[in-house]
Copies of this chain bind each other. A is one copy, B any other.
Amino acid sequence: MMIPKLQIALDNLTFTDAINALKGVAQEVDIIEVGTILLCAEGIRAVEYIKNMYPDKIVLADAKIADAGKIITPMMFDAGADWTTIICCADIPTVASALEIAKQRGRDIQIELTGHWTKELAQEWQKIGVRQVVYHRSRDSQAAGVNWGLADLEKVGQLCKMGFQVTVTGGVNVEDIQFFKELPIYVFIAGRAIRDASSPVSAARAFKNEFEKYW
């Protein structure tokens, strides 16, 4: 199996906080995510600034596009995003139009599995050629005390078997990594686990050590 990639999620409330969170640690990660919170706060310029600051990194704009895929998808790519996300309940024509734009431009989209989705929808994504999905334990569910469990593992495993490149996110800590060791996880996202660490660089390296140990 390939070694998973490490993605830092910038879910800051201001761009200033985001660049401070990135300082030093950016070179330790493979993917920099402009989180939905930061995108809501600062708008598309957050994507533009990050890509200009780190042109050699994969920049992901977590736009969670639900509609108007033909407008919002190119907006993200024009600003420099390599990948952007579509929310799982989006109509299939919305997903298809975003995917087509991505392919034309050598970029990619990810289906963001926040909240309710079904196996039937996953089959439709597969059919139209979606490659990436993001398995997401919701922030509010985490706050409600719901932890990573066998149900998560089973769902992630099914998505991998369907051939999707799966990103795992939602309060992932270093100790959670080995839980997924049997699966070909494509990306792990760490947000607060890196940003709030006393040494973000050490925290990022601890994730990468676990990846190398188990994959």
* Docked CA distance A91–B70 (Å): 26
Q: Which one of A33-41, A154-162, A193-201, A204-212 is at the interface?
A: A33-41
Q: Is the CB of A67 within 8 A of B139?
A: yes
* Docked CA distance A136–B63 (Å): 19
Q: A89-B116, A116-B89 are in contact. Are A143 and B66 (CB under 8 A)?
A: no
Tell whether A68 is near chain B: CB-to-CB under 8 Å: yes
> In the complex, how many angstroms separate the beta carbon of A11 from the nearest chain B beta carbon?
7
Each complex incorporates copies of this chain amounting to 2
* Docked CA distance A63–B66 (Å): 10
Interface centre among A66, A67, A89, A139 (most CB of B within 10 A): A67
Chain A contact residues, CB within 8 Å of chain B: 11, 13, 36-37, 39-46, 63-64, 66-72, 75-76, 87-91, 93-94, 97, 112, 114-118, 121, 136, 138-141, 143-144
- Knowing that A43-B44, A66-B87, A66-B114 touch, tell me 17 more A-B residue pairs with CB under 8 angstroms: A11-B71, A37-B68, A40-B75, A41-B43, A64-B64, A64-B87, A66-B112, A68-B139, A87-B115, A89-B114, A89-B115, A90-B115, A90-B138, A91-B140, A93-B141, A93-B144, A116-B117
